[in-house]
Structure 1
């Protein structure tokens, strides 16, 4: 049987994808664990399928083998377990998705690889099956997870402020047999340094003799790896350097559905799947005999030193009035190349190893009779795998993501729509009430109470208007549909005057008769009303005539607005004619069909107008 482990998008990459920044927010790892039968289609009697995110640190020997290892972080999720009552269950081809969340307070270090030491994060899938001769009881597959810590380590010292250097602050003293002695101090920042950051190192020297000058200075940054002597070649499964993390015990499910359990390594104990084989490492490490591992054992009490970067003074030292010679050397911290196999690393303190960085300063002085060099005291430099700019960027992305999620939760579309529906409509002004239809005008009954509500909208000009919107016109309530069209009283005189000014498209003809209705914004339209000679129609027309007689006062009050609209429409029509003349449309000859249609519509409109006046 083949064990498959791939990402959620089925991408076959070198490293497993993830989201989030370790140490700043939750790191989410999503993927799929599956199985595939071999050509013989033989099922595998299995007991459990688990997926884990683990952090390991390895000590490597000179020949490349693993001398010792330690598990720093362990988050395990149970995807499938056998039914109760059976020791094993035949496992076929299956697929189980998983999602593991790593909280920011998790221990572990950034992914790094040295010749003698490695710290790696892995996504591991494991099938616990029956014992097979030559194979064992577990089938394992893992993919590297390139996690980098974005937070600051907890063991950083307090920052050192830059202050004025005097003779009293030169706390170090060095002397040579040739009566060459001097007092000095070295200032280096205690803030963590990351890739591409500038590291300033200030050197202040006060020679005892007056005729001594400082010629040059050099600084070299070294990395020192020190393995702890208490570590044995047998791998350990816990780390006291990892802070306590909330753990969840893995519960065995009594069905074939996957059950989830997360576990993290705490100090002294490891909470994981309760299996007898889990106390052993997933990858058995070879144990070399004494004579073969003697070369690596000799490195226990001896640090492994490697120079990282250096700098040399380009000019002479400057001397102050009090006789102190000063010089500041600036070093740019290197970043590991993408094609490089080995990394620069960061400051690490664990039960297995300690990785530290030191600045070593060497100065050359010139006296009246000789030139000599001095090795000054070393200064420790604290480093991280990322610089301050990348850390701030990760924090800003986390804050923006949290704020966007909070806004999406607080501003729900349903809640906003519900709030708008329950909001009462504004009370119209006195200036807008005269533009609305009379209160005694007839309205068709509405089937639902909600359809009787009128919502105001801003009046708009005709589509051919080129001038600004009239601010004098305010809100009005146009009908929503043909069933809700209001029929205000019709005045023949006003209607005839308006229809004579309108274009043919604003008058609608129905069955040889036309009814022109005035909307609140001054446009004429024809409501869908049958004008056949029925009793209901005659009674409606009679009531309309009676209401029109009662509404003459209202029409007189709105005559000023009507005249204003007539003047405005005349101005628009004149401007349209001028525009068409400028564009050359007036010289184009219209087709006969268009002319006939226009003449017919005008004749029909004039006939309908006469019929309405007679009525």
Structure 2
């Protein structure tokens, strides 16, 4: 047997979520890694049929009877290895296959989220199909979760022709029996909201009875999760023929080419997609998949052609060509679908099996104002909570599928005071479109993605020669009389070039090795400078690239020593510490680096010398303190009066007698204790 492993190219794959790059729904998403197999302790290879890697999106529903139903929404697979066509199986041992899977911008699927009894998630799966083994099966699976979050905007549930908000027409009224009638209108956001967004809700209320007043109003945003019947949506409801395999066709475009235009990304999507997704181009949030939801082309670095795998067996009576997503020119002609608070777009007209509700955020206010026309108005502000981690229950986003629908509504309750008493009236709910990300997050994501794309072709080297080449490339074009080479040209070192290898150089050698700054009334030989520039050898773009980069080392040493040894060095060397004239480019290269290093070495020598001076000062201070302490000890000894030797001996003898007496008393105490112990032991024996 063999073991199957998945490793990442850009991070540690031992964590829970596999790394990826891109933003789902906003930019292409790229997943890169390596799938490798290793032999177990027996060292035997396995007979296998194929090795594939896939990026898939699932939705899972748990029923009241705890039965689990899963639906595959997105499947983008790549075949890394497969058996020869003439054989049924082929031996597979220790191998390693890199892969790259790119999801297009218009890829369907939902954000990864965990709800009660409902879940949507993305996975990177590696599957090895091998010969059937008893107790094991015929498939070896390894997977990692992908923390993908949609960055696009779901379709708005607002009707096609909503009433203009500026008129504030009170076209609605309450219908509670035996309660005062209130004409009202509610102004809610028409654009999708995201984490940390502010939600402004304006209320316009007008009681028909002038004796009725509005005491308070409360606004609650409620989330509804409608869990549909398992058999409510089938393949026949989609008005599409049964799924059939799509032949694999070679793809010549690379994933980098698909990043340039949105139409290229959309054209890579093929398979069986919900008609609603085709009619509403803006987002695949309303995707209604069957058991075979979608089939996507994919490219990989491990294979030269794309492969498509149908999720159900082919039907012999139907063949379905690949479905093309409408291009940008036809998108604006399709209006968004109208939503109603009580409709379910992802299932049939049957009622949902179960509905889960939760209050997300709420507020109330009792300071409504009334104008001369008797219209009570109030604008209430709520803030949508911040996004939660995937380890917690998700707030979710507006989405519709075959198993569940997640929607959000603004519910308003008002308390009125009438001659008959106080009444609580509930107004009609308004549906709210919620996205997984806010507009600010989308802008930040686009900025980061643009920065990453700009940095793809940019070298990470900080070599000064790279800056020099960029400066030469962006400088004035040759042929202009005022074009001066930005870098002083220097030829390659030779055995006859003594000015580069000596500590002192003549003015002629200095003028040939460095171009002086332009002075008023002085012309430069541009042709000679250009010829010297062309004779200059190319260098590798790194400061530690090798021996070829050390051509400036003798020149740097000469410049540095010349600055210290000759008084006229600052006039003959371009690396002089004096101020450079404006317009003269700063010398860059290994010579500057070595000169800087030598100057820094001198600074370190001075620093060490100062440290040694401080240490000598500390040593002198310690010596002075020790001498002062010795003097104090001598003075203390001189202050003590002399004691006769006879008295000292008498004191010592008295101390010895006291010590001997204490030892005898201790021995007597121990002896009496032992005698008493022996008596206690002897008494039981005698009895």
TM-score relative to the length of structure 2:
0.54
Map 1:362-381 to 2 at 5 A: 362-381=413-432
Distance change >3 Å, CA 161–CA 247, structure 1 → 2: farther
433, 439, 443: which one pairs with 1:392? Answer: 443
Correspondence for 2:83: 82
Q: Aligned partners of 2:154 and 2:310: how far apart in 1?
A: 35
Secondary structure in 1 matching 2:205: strand
Map 1:19-38 to 2 at 5 A: 19-38=21-40
Distance change >3 Å, CA 391–CA 159, structure 1 → 2: farther
Q: How many residues align?
A: 425
Correspondence for 2:106: 105
Correspondence for 2:263: none
- How far does residue 51 in structure 1 lie from its aligned partner after superposition? 0.2
Secondary structure in 1 matching 2:196: coil
Secondary structure in 1 matching 2:53: strand
Q: Say whether residues 1:357 and 2:380 are aligned partners.
A: no
Q: Say whether residues 1:16 and 2:71 are aligned partners.
A: no
Q: Is the 8 A contact 1:50 1:127 kept in 2?
A: yes
- How far does residue 177 in structure 1 lie from its aligned partner after superposition? 4.2
Distance change >3 Å, CA 214–CA 428, structure 1 → 2: closer
Map 1:215-254 to 2 at 5 A: 215-229=215-229, 231=231, 249=248
Q: Aligned partners of 2:39 and 2:390: how far apart in 1?
A: 37
Distance change >3 Å, CA 72–CA 308, structure 1 → 2: same
Unaligned runs of 5+ in 2: 251-267, 274-292, 298-306, 315-349, 460-465, 485-510, 536-564, 574-687
- How far does residue 200 in structure 1 lie from its aligned partner after superposition? 1.4
Q: Aligned partners of 1:389 and 1:154: how far apart in 2?
A: 19
Deviation per CA, 1:513-545, whole angstroms, max 9, x where unpaired?
xxxxxxxx9979xxxxxxxxxxxxxxxxxxxxx
- How far does residue 219 in structure 1 lie from its aligned partner after superposition? 1.7
Correspondence for 2:516: 459
Q: Is the 8 A contact 2:408 2:432 kept in 1?
A: yes
Q: Is the 8 A contact 2:154 2:433 kept in 1?
A: no
Q: Aligned partners of 2:388 and 2:399: how far apart in 1?
A: 21
TM-score relative to the length of structure 1:
0.59
Deviation per CA, 1:538-590, whole angstroms, max 9, x where unpaired?
xxxxxxxxxxxxxxxxxxxxxxxxxxxxxxxxxxxxxxxxxxxxxxxxxxxxx
Distance change >3 Å, CA 172–CA 153, structure 1 → 2: same
Q: Aligned partners of 1:239 and 1:107: how far apart in 2?
A: 16
- How far does residue 380 in structure 1 lie from its aligned partner after superposition? 0.3
Correspondence for 2:150: 149
Q: Aligned partners of 2:572 and 2:469: how far apart in 1?
A: 37
Distance change >3 Å, CA 311–CA 275, structure 1 → 2: closer
- How far does residue 154 in structure 1 lie from its aligned partner after superposition? 3.7
Q: Aligned partners of 1:32 and 1:13: how far apart in 2?
A: 16
Unaligned runs of 5+ in 1: 252-261, 281-298, 430-453, 461-468, 485-504, 508-520, 525-615
Deviation per CA, 1:121-162, whole angstroms, max 9, x where unpaired?
110000011112232221111111111111112455469697
Q: Aligned partners of 2:177 and 2:428: how far apart in 1?
A: 18
Distance change >3 Å, CA 155–CA 414, structure 1 → 2: same
55, 58, 62: which one pairs with 1:56? Answer: 58
Structure number having the greater helix percentage = 2
Secondary structure in 1 matching 2:174: strand
Deviation per CA, 1:351-370, whole angstroms, max 9, x where unpaired?
33221111111110011231
Map 1:475-494 to 2 at 5 A: 475=524
Correspondence for 1:426: 481
Q: Is the 8 A contact 1:27 1:101 kept in 2?
A: yes
Distance change >3 Å, CA 361–CA 279, structure 1 → 2: same
Q: Is the 8 A contact 1:222 1:358 kept in 2?
A: yes
Deviation per CA, 1:278-318, whole angstroms, max 9, x where unpaired?
759xxxxxxxxxxxxxxxxxx96344132232323233211
Cα RMSD over matched residues?
A: 4.5
- How far does residue 94 in structure 1 lie from its aligned partner after superposition? 1.4
Q: Is the 8 A contact 2:47 2:89 kept in 1?
A: yes
Q: Is the 8 A contact 2:13 2:19 kept in 1?
A: no
